[in-house]
Amino acid sequence: MNIDKAKKRIAKQVKKGFNGYPQISLAYFGQTSDSATKVIVSFTADENAKPQDQTFLSENDAREDETIQSTLVKIIERTDANTVIEIDGVSIIK
């Protein structure tokens, strides 16, 4: 899948806001705020469920990695997530 297409599909899901569960949360991490080398995807099946996390690593910016972004779209589709949350920016790894 094209990187721009994948990013637009994720953004479209995020814009929908909270629509209940299941829920996917996307958080980006990196050594600097300019480059995300790690993505943590959290899946929460229902309100009281413990989130299940999956981590993706990239040598370059994961936000611009076509494989990672396409995989995130597939995860959102396959889990049939009603809500997708994307944490703004890149959190610094210490």
pLDDT digits (tens, 9 = 90+) for 73-84: 999 999 999 999
Q: pLDDT value at position 24?
A: 98
Task: Look at domain 3-92 and name its CATH class.
Answer: alpha beta
The tokens describing 82, both together, are: 């009603």
> One-letter amino acid identity for 80?
D
Domain boundaries, the chain: 3-92
What is the four-CA torsion angle of 38, 76, 81, 5, rounded to 10 degrees? 110
- pLDDT interval class at 1 (50, 70, 90): confident
- How confident is the model over 28-74, as pLDDT tens digits? 999 999 999 999 999 999 999 999 999 999 999 999 999 999 999 99
Q: Which helix (H) or strand (E) holds 55?
A: strand 52-57
